Amino acid sequence: MKHPLKALLSLLILITLGHFISRSLGWYFKYGLTDIVLHTIAGIMFGYVWIYFAEKNKSGSVVWISVTSITFATSFSFLWEVWEFWGYKVTPWITRAYIPTLSDSLGDIAFGFIGGVIFSLVYISQNKD
């Protein structure tokens, strides 16, 4: 990747804008696909973050970096869902527009995992020996 920091920043901006636009226009409730797309993009972004640092530190084979990238993306998806539950329980006046459920959280984690897999497959295809 020629400009990884620009790409990461672009993904972060896309996710942030997507979230705020979707929340303000009620797309999360109207279109279930909105949440799926944003969580998948987040998984791609977190997978990319891991690969960026792994390559910078020259830490392992392409397969190892890919597997750990998927793990990193899934772990961050999990931590995000813990944050949502915590936010709802501790500060419900801030997160009152959304009541997290276990099935929704598990789905969000799964799509973060899928995003990590997608980016890892791209990484593998670009780094064949």
Q: What is the pTM for the complete model shown?
A: 0.85
Q: Which are the contacts of 127, defined by CB distance < 8 A and separation ≥ 6?
A: 62
In this prediction, the residues of the chain whose per-residue pLDDT falls under 50 are none
pLDDT in tens, 96-107: 666 778 898 999
Terminal C-alpha separation, the chain: 16
Q: What is the pLDDT of residues 21-38, one digit of tens each?
A: 988 898 878 887 888 999
Alpha carbon 118 to chain centroid distance?
11
**Predicted pLDDT of residue 123:** 93
CB atoms within 10 A of CB 14: 15
